[in-house]
């Protein structure tokens, strides 16, 4: 007999492949496998959600609002890792001037009253509950064009370190402002 003759591989039973879910079992019953609940927002959607939750909780901010006819009033409502939340009031006629937000992104939420945003696409009326999300470098001007006070909430991420002012107003037609 030839000693180099190959031997047949042993016959084995077919292996049943189970899904990870079957192997892991019920993930809700294994606490250490769950993602920890996020204490602080980290995505744009979460910053928008944070602003909405603060807007809905008037007890957190309503008593803090002040109206100041001499200057725009603002109050830092909350800070967290990499973000800040500001509360602003606007008496009739007050405006921000055209500006951008440096390296910060932001979420603007109108809490009370009505504001007009003059951005790249022209004026936009923002009533209570309206939200605007903007990226770094976005320039706009916000004005209270009404006869009533207005309150807004501003989330900046990262926190606002500069707010460069721009000289021209986008409210003016191109032919006029050029
Ligand atoms: Fe702004």
Task: Decide if 19 is inside a domain.
Answer: no
151 preceded by a cis bond (ω within 30 of 0): no
Ligand 1 centre to CA of 41 (Å) is 20
Structure tokens at 67: 């109206």
The mean predicted confidence, pLDDT, of the chain is: 83
Task: Decide if 34 is inside a domain.
Answer: yes
pTM above 0.85, yes or no: no
Whether 171 shows a pLDDT value over 50: the answer reads no
Ligand 1 centre to CA of 90 (Å) is 13
Q: What pLDDT is attached to residue 72?
A: 85
Ligand 1 centre to CA of 134 (Å) is 9
Beta strands in 33-171 (DSSP E): 73-80, 83-90, 105-112, 114-119, 122-127, 131-134, 141-143, 150-157
Task: Decide if 142 is inside a domain.
Answer: yes
- Give the structural domain span for 89: 27-157
By DSSP bridging, strand 114-119 and strand 141-143 are antiparallel
* 85 contacts 155 by C-beta, under 8 angstroms: yes
pLDDT tens-place string over residues 44-86: 999 999 999 999 999 999 999 999 999 889 999 999 999 999 9
Q: What pLDDT is attached to residue 2?
A: 46
Task: Decide if 84 is inside a domain.
Answer: yes
CATH number at residue 76: 2.60.120.10
Ligand 1 centre to CA of 130 (Å) is 15
pLDDT tens-place string over residues 35-44: 656 789 999 9
What pLDDT band is residue 1 in, cutting at 50, 70 and 90?
very low
Ligand 1 centre to CA of 153 (Å) is 11
Ligand 1 centre to CA of 117 (Å) is 9
Helix, strand, coil share (%) of the chain residues, nearest 5: 20, 30, 50
Stretch 155-177: mean pLDDT: 71
What pLDDT band is residue 178 in, cutting at 50, 70 and 90?
very low
Q: What pLDDT is attached to residue 71?
A: 87
Ligand 1 centre to CA of 150 (Å) is 15
Task: Decide if 118 is inside a domain.
Answer: yes
Stretch 18-34: mean pLDDT: 55
Instruction: Count Cβ neighbours within 10 Å for each residue of 53-88 and write b for 16 or more, e otherwise.
Output: ebbeeeeebeeebeeeeeebbeeebbeeeebbbbbb
Q: What percent of the chain has pLDDT over 90?
A: 69
Task: Decide if 132 is inside a domain.
Answer: yes
Task: Decide if 114 is inside a domain.
Answer: yes
Ligand 1 centre to CA of 2 (Å) is 88
Report how many domains make up the chain: 1
């Amino acid at each position: 007999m030839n000693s180099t003759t190959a031997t047949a591989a042993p016959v084995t039973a077919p292996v049943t492949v189970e899904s990870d879910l079957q192997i892991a079992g019920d993930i809700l019953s294994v606490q250490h496998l769950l993602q920890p609940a996020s204490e602080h927002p980290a995505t744009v959607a979460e910053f928008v959600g944070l602003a909405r939750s603060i807007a809905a909780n008037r007890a957190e901010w309503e008593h803090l609002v002040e109206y100041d006819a001499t200057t725009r009033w603002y109050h830092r409502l909350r800070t967290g890792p990499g973000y800040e939340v500001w509360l602003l009031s606007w008496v009739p006629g007050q405006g921000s001037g055209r500006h951008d937000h440096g390296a910060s992104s932001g979420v603007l939420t109108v809490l009370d009253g009505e504001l007009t945003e003059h951005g790249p696409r022209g004026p936009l009326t923002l009533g209570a509950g309206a939200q605007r999300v903007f990226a770094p470098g976005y320039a706009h001007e916000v004005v209270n064009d009404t006869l009533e006070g207005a309150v807004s909430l501003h989330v900046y991420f990262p926190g606002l370190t500069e707010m460069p002012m721009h000289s021209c107003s986008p409210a003016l037609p191109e032919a006029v402002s050029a």
